[in-house]
Amino acid sequence: MPTHPIADETGSNIRAEMGRKRVNMSELARRTGISRGTLWGQINGGTVTVDNLVLIADALGVASSDLLPPIEAAS
């Protein structure tokens, strides 16, 4: 089942932040308490739950909103 573009971009943003912070999936799992498999599935093609987004953002030292795609202004 294809994912929504927002989910895809959120996953990309998380991966980019992980790269900037030099945090691999195993370390993110340790910091968040979320299993590596769950993280991998949600970040790479799934949908990150709100609860997990908050945990991931905290573990990476950023605001949750920083990991979400920007909201485009309505025309």
Enclosing domain of residue 25: 5-62
Length of the chain: 75
Distance CA 40, CA 45 (A): 8
Confidence of residue 61 (pLDDT cuts 50, 70, 90): very high
Cβ neighbours, 10 Å, residue 58: 13
Give the confidence band of 19 by pLDDT, cuts at 50, 70, 90: very high
For residue 31, give the CATH number of its domain. 1.10.260.40
* pTM (predicted TM-score): 0.86
**68 belongs to a structural domain:** no
Residue 73 has pLDDT above 80, yes or no: no
The number of folded domains in the chain is 1
Q: Is the predicted pLDDT of residue 14 greater than 50, yes or no?
A: yes
18 pLDDT above the threshold of 60:
yes
* Per-residue pLDDT at 72 exceeds 80: no
12 in a domain, yes or no? yes
Q: In this structure, is residue 31 part of a structural domain? A: yes
Whether residue 67 is contained in a domain is answered as: no
